[in-house]
Amino acid sequence: MTLHGRGSLTNAGFTRAQLRQGGGRGNGNDHLDELIGATELFVYQTPNKKPKGFDSLKLFLEASECELIFTLDVPPELKNYEAFRVTHKGGDKIPDAVLRRCHSWAHGRNFLHSFFKPMYGQR
């Protein structure tokens, strides 16, 4: 699992004040290629806050045969964050268009995110 966003930046020595000023935001296109082929995408959002656009994201996922599941399975350093997991029904890889939209949505709100991508063909 690879963690992207604010958490990985604080581990790299950036302070919270620096992150609030920007740098963690963006549309995510700079590393979208890393997500292609993922079977799980986790988004860690600020607690007790329903972000703008969440309902439309959820409807898009449902129409794309994907599931959005809230989970308590978060890394210890993110214990105060709320998390949801996006998967494709049937356990297949998440469609590229879904990854693109979810990833852009997370970046646009400066939310941390991680993903799991199986290593096919390796023993």
For 93-109, what is each residue's pLDDT tens digit?
999 999 999 999 999 88
Instruction: Give the list of residues 6+ apart from residue 71 with CB closer than 8 angstroms, or none.
Output: 42, 83, 84, 85
Task: Specify if 10 maps to a domain.
Answer: yes
Residue 45 lies in a domain: yes
| 123 within a domain of the structure (yes/no) | no
76 SS3 class: helix
Q: What are the distances in angstroms from CA 60 to CA 23, 76, 104?
A: 28, 30, 13
Quick one: residue 23, left, alpha or beta (phi over 0 = left, psi -120 to 50 = alpha)? left
Q: Which domain holds residue 93?
A: 2-116
Residue 14 is assigned to a structural domain of this protein? yes
Q: Could you give the number of structural domains in the chain?
A: 1
Average pLDDT, the chain: 80
Rounded to two decimals, the pTM is: 0.74
Q: Is residue 121 one of the residues assigned to a domain?
A: no
* Residue at 61 is within a domain: yes
Domain for residue 122, yes or no?
Answer: no
**Residue 53: CA count within 13 A, CB half-sphere:** 9
